[in-house]
Amino acid sequence: MGAGYQVVYDDLGDMASAFTAESGTFAGLRGKMAPPPVDGGDATVDAGISAVLSLFASLNVGISTAMAEHGTKLKECHDDYKQNDSDVVALYNKVIGEA
What is the tens place of the pLDDT at every residue in 59-92?
A: 999 999 999 999 999 999 888 888 877 777 777 7
Q: What is the pTM of this model?
A: 0.73
CA distance 4 to 52: 49
For 55-71, b/e burial (b = at least 16 CB within 10 A) is: ebeeebeeebeebbebb
**Domain boundaries, given as residue ranges, for the chain:** 9-98
HEC profile of 4-17: CCCCCHHHHHHHHH
pLDDT tens column, 13-57: 899 999 999 999 999 998 898 888 888 899 999 999 999 999 999
